[in-house]
């Protein structure tokens, strides 16, 4: 499979989904609640249908997991070597709050790791891509793709990004060990992308996420030279267990410090 050949078609799909999201964003849209009480809008569903239809045409027969289509039984999907994993609208709370910090996430998973990821930011008209053997790039509007890279060394104070909607005592305890830092709250997978392009050093996530929240952005970070690791230091993997919840993890850009060693219980 020529991964590079998928970049432009998947970017086009993400951008098309982004335009559909913005059409809803400009209206007085309704907000429903899913079974887990997370919000759902017509924008989520419109994006989902566009992306799924496009991927089915691009790679007929390849499985697709979307946040808006439910999770196939593990006994079925555990045999998949390759599949698409998408979050049609990551950051629905940010969408509802109209702060612009939401994304479209499309990832291709091979053997439990994201080998291609596209993260589109509709309000900014920016798209981040990460692809094995290609690297990570940023497409800003109609400008040509530009390579991006994580920071070589951390700043002083350390530049940390964290969730705008989910911040708890565990993160506060970690930050207390970190020393001087600047904390920038941000929604959705944008936090990964800011690390990938070197504008932040670290994103510690000591709270719950799902695999569709992180896969595309993990590909971007890793191809930009960064790491996405669980608290034991191992890379975060996909489709390796029956549920789709991620363990706690760190997105590491600058590698000049042992960030995990600062965890209070380490």
**Same domain, residue pair 170 and 119:** no
| Per-residue pLDDT tens digits for 210-238 | 999 999 999 999 999 999 999 999 999 99
**Same domain, residue pair 122 and 166:** no
HEC string for the chain: CCCHHHHHHHHHHHHHHHHHHHHHHCCCCCCEECCCCCEECHHHHHHHHHHHHHHHHHCCCCCEEECCCCCCCHHHHCCCCEEEEEEEEECHHHHHHCCCCCEEEEEEEECCEEEEEEEEECCCCEEEEEECCCEEEEEECCCCCEECCCCCCCCCCEEEEEECCCCCHHHHHHHHHHCCEEEEEECCCHHHHHHHCCCCCEEEECCCCEHHHHHHHHHHHHHCCCEEEECCCCECCCCCCCCCECCCEEEECCCCCCHHHHCCCC
The answer to the question of residue 136 being in a domain is yes
Q: How confident is the model at residue 32 (pLDDT cuts 50, 70, 90)?
A: confident
Among candidate residues 147, 177, 193, the one where a domain is terminated: 147
The boundaries of the domain holding residue 38 are 4-147
**Same domain, residue pair 165 and 256:** yes
**Same domain, residue pair 143 and 172:** no
Whether this prediction's pTM lies above 0.85 is answered by yes
pLDDT at 265 over 80: no
Q: Domain count for the chain, please give it.
A: 2
The answer to the question of residue 73 being in a domain is yes
The answer to the question of residue 153 being in a domain is no
**Same domain, residue pair 165 and 85:** no
Q: How confident is the model at residue 166 (pLDDT cuts 50, 70, 90)?
A: low
**Same domain, residue pair 82 and 194:** no
């Amino acid at each position: 499979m020529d991964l590079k050949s998928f970049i432009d078609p998947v970017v086009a799909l993400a951008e098309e989904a982004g335009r559909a999201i913005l059409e809803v964003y400009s209206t007085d849209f309704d907000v429903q609640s899913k079974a887990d009480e997370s919000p759902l809008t017509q924008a989520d569903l419109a994006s989902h249908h566009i992306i799924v239809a496009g991927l089915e045409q691009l790679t007929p027969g390849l499985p697709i997991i979307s946040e808006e289509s439910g999770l196939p039984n593990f006994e079925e999907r555990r045999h998949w070597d390759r599949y698409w994993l998408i979050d049609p609208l990551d950051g629905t709370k940010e969408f509802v709050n109209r702060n612009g910090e939401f994304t479209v996430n499309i990832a291709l998973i091979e053997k439990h790791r994201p080998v291609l990821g596209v993260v589109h930011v509709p309000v900014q008209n920016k798209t981040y891509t990460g692809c094995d053997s290609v690297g990570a790039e940023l497409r800003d509007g109609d400008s040509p793709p530009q390579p991006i890279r994580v920071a070589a060394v951390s700043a002083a104070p350390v530049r940390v990004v964290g969730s705008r909607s989910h911040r708890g005592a565990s993160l506060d305890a970690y930050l207390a060990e970190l020393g001087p830092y600047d904390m920038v709250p941000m929604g959705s997978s944008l936090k990964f992308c800011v690390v990938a392009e070197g504008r932040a050093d670290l994103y510690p996530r000591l709270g719950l996420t799902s695999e569709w929240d992180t896969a595309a952005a993990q590909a971007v970070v890793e191809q930009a030279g960064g790491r996405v690791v669980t608290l034991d230091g191992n890379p975060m993997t996909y489709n390796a267990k029956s549920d789709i919840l991620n363990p706690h993890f760190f997105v590491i850009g600058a590698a000049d410090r042992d960030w995990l060693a600062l965890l209070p219980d380490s």
